Amino acid sequence: MSDKPLLTPIDKAGILSQALPYIRQFHGKTMVIKYGGNAMTDPALQKAFAEDIVLLKLVGINPVVVHGGGPQIETALKRLGKEGHFIQGMRVTDAETMEVVEWVLGGEVQQDIVGLINQAGGKAVGLTGRDGAMIRARKLRLKDLQDPAMEHDVGQVGDIEAIDPSVVKALQDDQFIPVVSPIGFGEHNESYNINADVVAAALATNLQAEKLLMLTNIAGVLDKQGQLLTELSAAQIDALCADGTISGGMIPKIAGALDAAKRGVKAVHIIDGRVPHSMLLEVLTDQAFGTMIRAQ
């Protein structure tokens, strides 16, 4: 027998009533969710994530999911005898790696997420940046963090040139839940692997989203002592990057979040995807959760 106290019907009704102001506030608004980390690989967390997405849709909020898939790409590359290589948090993507990225992200991972949401009672539709000419990209010029005059060649890694979110808006209007793989196309129809955090931030900006929620494998942004920083400004982020507190794969995540905040996304949150229903805690309660990024 579990020692956890059972909620009475009155307790449950009280919890639901507390969510009402937030449901009213966010009804009809768009929220972009970057889905990654443990939330994508743990079956219980996968199920909780899909249920949360469907619940948000049912109460009148428009969720748009942008997913990563780094561990799945790494597994596929290892099966082919290829070793993944990263520079400043960006995966170096040659032509063969790009093929793997496309079938893992746009096929396997995307369809798993679509299936989970549909199984939970939603109507999800998978997209890549090619669909509806959504994400036009160019080759990323990755400047060295120590020497800005130096550039790293990271292959078919893309920088977003333009986003046309009309296909996403059309799906939302028809009660579908878009699930976006971070793959763009160039002027010669070449494919580009784009950091999922960057795509989520750019989509949130173009959709004028109410919130951008970025699920991670940590509680949020931590200081050097491992303490959670609940709120960060642009100046604080610059200082944390300079002293190495923010490094590696967290750099593009924070940069994208800050850019979205500067461009008008009302709230950008980095939250712990290892906590079941962490999205609902952030969206439908007054519980401060994770790290909020501010433009000023």
- What is the domain partition of the chain in residue ranges? 31-293
Q: Whose structure tokens read 């920088």?
A: 159
Q: Residue 224: what pLDDT?
A: 79
Q: Residue 251: what pLDDT?
A: 76
Of 279, 247, 253, give the one whose Cα is nearest residue 197. Answer: 253
- Does 69 show up as a binding residue in the annotation? yes
Q: Residue 135: what pLDDT?
A: 97
Whole-prediction pTM: 0.88
Q: Residue 62: what pLDDT?
A: 96
- Does 70 show up as a binding residue in the annotation? yes
**pLDDT tens digits for 212-267?**
999 988 777 877 777 788 887 778 887 888 777 777 667 777 887 888 888 888 88
- Does 158 show up as a binding residue in the annotation? no
Q: Residue 236: what pLDDT?
A: 81
Domain 31-293: which CATH number of 3.40.1380.10, 3.40.1160.10, 3.10.20.740, 3.30.590.10? 3.40.1160.10
Q: Residue 169: what pLDDT?
A: 93
Q: How far apart are CA 69 and CA 217, in angstroms?
A: 13
- Residue ranges in the chain whose pLDDT is less than 50: 1-2
